Amino acid sequence: MERGKDICYSCGKVQEYLTMADVTEDGFEIYCDDCHPNKKIIPQLIKLADDIASTRFMDYPDYDEDNPITTLPEALTIFVQESMRNHDEIDLTEVYDEFEKLLG
């Protein structure tokens, strides 16, 4: 008996059934690894955090041109620190708002 196939919602690539990621809540959209939305946004988040750290180099002395931000945990740390600027506690609503503002 032949097994079903998954077809990438973005590029049409065909793979074995259940080998692609289902990423949407609204519909049944599946993506291959190359087209998965997270693969595209993570580098953008890292670059944005590196830009912030470079611009505010006095606030982030651990990061500079010789030691740029290259990982998602580093990027998220910058975003959380930015959302906490002038605050004593983390307000998750403000963190969300900061991400939304940064990502447009």
B/e letters for 21-49, b = 16+ CB within 10 Å, e = fewer, are eeeeeeeeebbbeebbeeeeeeeebbebb
The model's pTM: 0.56
Assess contact for 42 and 72: CB atoms under 8 A.
yes
Sort strands 21-22 and 30-31 into parallel, antiparallel or unpaired.
antiparallel
At residue 25, the pLDDT reads 59
pLDDT tens, residue by residue, 11-40: 888 888 877 776 555 667 777 877 777 777
Q: How far is the C-alpha of 102 from the C-alpha of 51, rounded, in Å?
A: 11
Domain spans of the chain, in order of start: 1-35, 38-103
% of the chain beyond a pLDDT of 70? 79
